[in-house]
Amino acid sequence: MSKVLIIGCGGVASVAIHKCCQNSDVFEEICIASRTKSKCDALKEKLEGTTKTKITTRQVDADKVDELIALIREVQPDLVMNIALPYQDLTIMDACLACGVNYMDTANYEPEDLNDPEWRAQYEKRCKEQGFSAYFDYSYQWAYKEKFEKAGLTALLGSGFDPGVTQAYCAYAQKHLFDQIDTIDILDCNGGDHGYPFATNFNPEINLREVSAPGSYWENGHWVEIPAMSIKREYNFDQVGQKDMYLLHHEEIESLAKNIPGVQRIRFFMTFGQSYLTHMKCLENVGMLSTEPIEFEGHQIVPIQFLKALLPDPATLGPRTVGKTNIGCIFTGKKDGQQKTAYIYNVCDHQECYAEVGSQAISYTTGVPAMIGAMMLLTGKWNKPGVYTVEEFDPDPYMAALNQWGLPWQICDNPALVD
Ligand code: NDP
């Protein structure tokens, strides 16, 4: 039925590609294009013969709009799935506009070079005006809204788990469970153990940038920013158990604050073990998380990129990781004049994911919703010209697809709340 161009072939893309190949009725043909073509070829070789989906591969540098335009014109896809890095969001959106093709991704834009003066000026203005200092925000991609509307094209932003599924949970709660949502706590728990003293579950550079930054949350119409890891809570997660979790800034808070009418507070918590935090603090203290290039033996190196080369590739954690993830949203609010609480969540088992697609649950919980988001666009269920996040569409077909394609969810009434 459809042809899709998938950009990127890392941990998350590999899962999305496996799931597209399980869903050949929708994904009749896929072209996998990435910086390192050999990874695309290896995945094609693994999947061919197991699927009716026709697979081709290409090399592309997605930082270059001209290369992307040439590739899109050659492949002629119905949709471009950006599963590379957030650094490439804008170049790929530009290329989609130039070629008249729909777009989707799993994470919002952030620049690779934090010292770019033009970006820096806009960033500092936003920090002052809005009160949160994360390096990423939606403004860069929301700025494309009119262009996508005029072109009659849809851009779906952030269809992973968080962002992504968490926003579908919010839209579902708004549509079916509450008349008014007062508070949302997004809880992201990884109870998995990979046996390494320190490794990240997805791209180390993006992951470490995110968790070493100040936390922030939305309350009564404005942002409250706090020092990194300074709000800690404990929570007893279904099928995982008691875990420490820390308040982080997270991108979906920004769009949910706009799209859930009257919401008073939105927070995001992620679990971390003590070993992870101790390693991260130490690496930060010695400058290894820095994104500033330094001169080393005649070469320019970026410390966090050098660290990435030393750390285990998240795509290789699959066979070693045991345990489960539990990710979901706790809501408080009102229904029919009564106070009410609800918790919507998914539990995912690392080893079951590995047995199915050869990846651990973090890549799985992101790659499956990437395929589902693409399916929503390709089957016409979610097409509306413009630039949108997941909660701006009807959650019902997406929630049904989560149950069908490997991420079943459940609703718990009267859950324990986070203070
Ligand atoms: P990886 O680093 O494993 O994979 C990234 C892929 O993009 C690699 O194949 C890489 O190529 C390719 N790539 C990088 N730069 C370029 C470029 N300039 N041109 C072409 N290809 C390029 O990352 P993950 O799979 O862990 O993460 C993918 C995305 O998913 C990220 O945006 C991440 O933020 C997002 N994510 C979203 C989550 C959510 O819940 N919403 C959760 C986890 C991740 P090469 O192989 O050569 O390095």
What is the distance, to the nearest Å, from the Cα of residue 139 to the centroid of all Cα atoms in its chain?
A: 17
Ligand 1 pocket: which of 34, 104, 348 to mutate (most atoms <8 Å of CB)? 34
- Using most ligand atoms within 8 A of CB, pick from 85, 357, 359, 366 the residue to mutate for ligand 1: 85
> What global pTM score does this model have?
0.95
Write down the pLDDT at residue 204.
83
Cis peptide before 314 (omega within 30 of 0): no
Do 390 and 171 meet the contact criterion of CB atoms below 8 Å apart? yes
Determine the distance separating the centroid of ligand 1 and the alpha carbon of 85, expressed in angstroms: 4
pLDDT confidence of residue 358? 94
- Give residue 69 CA to ligand 1 midpoint distance, Å: 20
pLDDT of residue 48: 96
Q: What was the pLDDT predicted at 206? A: 83
Rounded to the nearest angstrom, the distance between the alpha carbon of 10 and the centre of ligand 1 is 5
Q: Quote the pLDDT of residue 203.
A: 83
Segments in the chain below pLDDT 50: none
93-130 pLDDT, tens digit each: 999 999 999 999 999 999 988 888 999 999 999 999 99
Residue 208 confidence (pLDDT): 85
Q: What pLDDT score does 1 carry? A: 74
Ligand 1 centroid, distance to 180 Cα (angstroms): 37
Contact 21, 29 (CB under 8 A): no
Q: Is 68 in contact with 5 (CB distance < 8 Å)?
A: no
pLDDT score of 40: 98
Predicted local confidence at residue 308, as pLDDT: 92
CA–CA separation, 314 and 215 (whole Å): 24
The Å distance, Cα 61 to ligand 1 centre, comes to 13
CA distances (Å), origin 262, targets 90, 181, 414: 31, 7, 21
CA of 223 from ligand 1 middle (Å) equals 29
List Cβ neighbours of 290 (8 Å cut-off, separation of 6 or more): 302, 303, 304
In this prediction, residue 210 carries a pLDDT of: 82
Atom 39 of ligand 1, nearest CA residue? 160
Rounded to whole angstroms, how far apart are CA atoms 302 and 288?
A: 9
Pick the atom of ligand 1 nearest to 13's CA: 25
pLDDT tens per residue across span 126-164? 999 999 999 899 999 999 999 999 999 999 999 999 999
